[in-house]
Amino acid sequence: MDKIFKNQIPGEGTVSVLMYGNVGNGEKVDSGRVVAELMELAAAYGKIDVHIHSNGGDVFSGIAIYNALRTVDADVTIYIDGLAASIAGIIALCGKPLYMNKYARIMLHRVSGGSYGNADELRKAADLAESLENDLSRMIASRCKMDAEEVRKKYFDGSEHWISASEAFAMGLIDGIVDTGEALSENATNTEVYNYFMNRLNEPQKTRDMALFEELKKRSSFANMANEEDMLKHITTMENQAAKVPALEARVTELTNQIAESKKTAHQAFLNQAVAEGKLTKEQVPVFMNLMMSDEANTRKAIEDMPKKGTVKVEDFLHTGGGAGGAGNNDLVNMSWDEIDNAERLAELKNQYPELYKQKYNERFKNNY
């Protein structure tokens, strides 16, 4: 989740989200991204703290964020850290509860925008702006001790209205004032307040970077590295080494196949020699090849112990193990196809003794036709 929202600080059951910057499509506070990510955060955390510091922006984007914060399935607490101007001030009002830093300010003013066209089209734009102001007036009135008409006349009169934390508290717009010990003067200008809190945006990233540096130093391969540059060089080396892994794995597979093929060739040569010495028949070779693959040592010894110029029946070999030290007793020879099937050993018969499998199959099925 930490990689989804850039300005996000996870905590124990709580996540803090920084809405710092302008509001609008493609801006730092992009409504589409913010709304989607708020829904994901609500699924992972029971409480969301939203910190606002913004000059405002697009009205419709702000209303979308406002509605998302009001309806999201989590406890939402909003803090105005520095400025909540224009639509950013409206977004802040949906806090449940809402707090302001002692130096923070809210700014409210009329909806503004641009339009072009004929008189009817311009009138529609003006009507839309007034309709939005009526909606915003109702949003503000829902939190303070004024009705919507009073709000519209006072704050949408064409002037900018800057409201301090103490004034907002007296109006009932906010639920409390917080003092986080900023080195700011109470007479600081709006620009000074904005710049001060915007500069703090980089501090959480610096803190996370230092925490990552210290965590990496706990790893043995990074322990003796003095700075980030050394770590980056080491990571590059590790990446280069990792790039070689697929080639090495392919080589290992190739060698493994070569070894298996060499082993099979050696088995075949041994069995051919046994045929030449009269210990086995050519028809018996496939069966004994499977035995060599599953138990080479015992099968090899059993064949070596066989007399030359004679043959051994496969059934006898499987049943007795080929003599002393052989492959061990195997009762599959004495079992019928159905008995082997009921014992769920057909796969064993087929995999280890394919010739006997064919024999049992023919006895069971082909002889019945």
pLDDT tens-place string over residues 222-275: 677 777 677 777 677 776 666 666 777 777 788 778 888 888 888 888 888 888
- Residue 200 and residue 340 in one domain: no
Q: Quick check: is 127 in a domain?
A: no
Q: Quick check: is 239 in a domain?
A: no
- Residue 100 and residue 213 in one domain: yes
Q: Quick check: is 280 in a domain?
A: yes
Q: Quick check: is 248 in a domain?
A: no
- Residue 274 and residue 329 in one domain: yes
pLDDT confidence of 346, banded at 50, 70, 90?
A: confident
Structure tokens at 130: 């007034």
User: Is the model's pLDDT at 308 over the cut of 80?
Assistant: no
State the pairing for strand pair 75-85/105-108: parallel
- Residue 30 and residue 168 in one domain: yes
Please tell me the predicted confidence (pLDDT) of residue 306.
Answer: 86
Give the count of domains, the chain: 2
Question: Rounded distance, CA 77 to CA 238, Å?
Answer: 44
- Residue 204 and residue 344 in one domain: no
How high is the mean pLDDT of the chain? 79
- Residue 180 and residue 269 in one domain: no
Mean pLDDT is highest, among 17-26, 108-117, 183-192, for: 17-26
Mean pLDDT confidence for 304-328: 56
Please tell me the predicted confidence (pLDDT) of residue 369.
Answer: 46
Please tell me the predicted confidence (pLDDT) of residue 257.
Answer: 83
- Residue 211 and residue 325 in one domain: no
Please tell me the predicted confidence (pLDDT) of residue 314.
Answer: 57
Please tell me the predicted confidence (pLDDT) of residue 312.
Answer: 52
User: Is the model's pLDDT at 64 over the cut of 80?
Assistant: yes
- Residue 207 and residue 355 in one domain: no
Question: Rounded distance, CA 92 to CA 216, Å?
Answer: 39
**Residue finishing a domain among 183, 201, 217:** 217
- Residue 266 and residue 328 in one domain: yes
Q: Quick check: is 76 in a domain?
A: yes
The CB density around residue 4, as the number of other CB atoms within 10 Å, is 12
Please tell me the predicted confidence (pLDDT) of residue 2.
Answer: 37
Please tell me the predicted confidence (pLDDT) of residue 79.
Answer: 92
- Residue 272 and residue 172 in one domain: no
54's enclosing H/E stretch is strand 47-54
Q: Which comes out higher in pLDDT, residue 112 or 285?
A: 285
Q: Give the phi and the psi of residue 56 in degrees, each rounded to 5.
A: 100, -155
Residues 27 and 21 sit within 8 Å (Cβ to Cβ): yes
User: Is the model's pLDDT at 4 over the cut of 50?
Assistant: no
Q: Which of 55, 86, 94, 56 is nearest to 161 (CA)?
A: 86
pLDDT confidence of 5, banded at 50, 70, 90?
A: very low
Show the domain range for 361: 259-368
Mean pLDDT confidence for 347-367: 81
Q: Quick check: is 266 in a domain?
A: yes
Residue 83: strand pairing partners: 105
pLDDT confidence of 99, banded at 50, 70, 90?
A: very high
- Residue 180 and residue 312 in one domain: no
pLDDT in tens, 160-207: 889 888 998 988 888 899 887 676 666 677 677 767 676 665 555 555
Q: Quick check: is 307 in a domain?
A: yes
